Amino acid sequence: MQATRLPNDAKAGPTKPAVRAVLERKLALGPEDHFVEVGSCTGAVTIEAARRAGRVTALERKPERLETTRANLDANEYDAAVELIHAEAPEGIPEDGDVLFLGGSRNYESNLDAALEAGYDRIVMNVSRLEVAGEAARAFRERGVLDEVLSLQVANGYDLAGATSFDANNPVYMLVAEPGGEYRGDEQ
């Protein structure tokens, strides 16, 4: 597995590697897919997607984050055609996308509706706040597209006086939608 280099950072920080690993599985990207990301931030997910999908469109509303994404893309190898767009979604969400990743919760209901209207096959949303995760789960359910909800919390080990201790990252809630699918709950 090729490491993702992120020499440029953003205040919000990149999606953590362990969360990206689960996200990769849930996105299930293939070489024919057009992956669309809303909220590219550092480009960590953009880079991973550009190694698997045939085409990538990344939207970011903050110009400095878009430049961070561009710089981090330049520091990595990938095969996909990547388009970076300065826009606040749902503006800029392409009609011809297959898989949508919502990296944040801003305008999530409008973004979800835009993807559903355009016929996206898979939609995954990461959320860091519990209350927003509950609201988003309700919105996905109301539209009949919620396939599963995950709560991910990872702790990374470090040396402490010759033994191993752990630093816990904040939890991330991941909502997965497959329009036309059935809710699977905790099935894997």
Number of H helices, E strands in the chain: 5, 9
Angstrom distance (rounded) from CA 53 to CA 51:
6
Angstrom distance (rounded) from CA 173 to CA 11:
20
Q: Is residue 188 part of a domain?
A: no
Write down the pLDDT at residue 181. Answer: 53
Q: Is residue 107 part of a domain?
A: yes
Tell me the pTM.
0.89
Q: Is residue 31 part of a domain?
A: yes
Angstrom distance (rounded) from CA 58 to CA 149:
24
- Other Cβ atoms within 10 Å of 74 Cβ, number: 11
In order of 45, 93, 170, the CA distances from 35 in angstroms are 10, 11, 26
> Given the structure tokens 């990938």, which residue do they identify?
78
Domain count, the chain: 1
- Establish whether the linkage from the previous residue to 171 is cis, with ω within 30° of 0: no
Strands of 13-86, DSSP E: 34-38, 55-60, 81-86
DSSP for 36-56? EEE--TTSHHHHHHHTTSSEE
Residues paired with residue 84 on neighbouring β-strands, in sequence order: 58
Angstrom distance (rounded) from CA 170 to CA 175:
16
Q: Is residue 76 part of a domain?
A: yes
Report the CATH number at residue 75: 3.40.50.150
Give the mean pLDDT of the chain. 92
Q: Is residue 12 part of a domain?
A: no
> By residue range, what is the domain housing residue 42?
17-177
Write down the pLDDT at residue 81. Answer: 97
Q: Is residue 22 part of a domain?
A: yes
| Per-residue pLDDT tens listing for the chain (188 residues) | 677 766 666 555 688 999 999 999 999 999 999 999 999 999 999 999 999 999 999 999 999 999 999 999 999 999 999 999 999 999 999 999 999 999 989 999 999 999 999 999 999 999 999 999 999 999 999 999 999 999 999 999 999 999 999 999 999 999 999 985 554 554 44
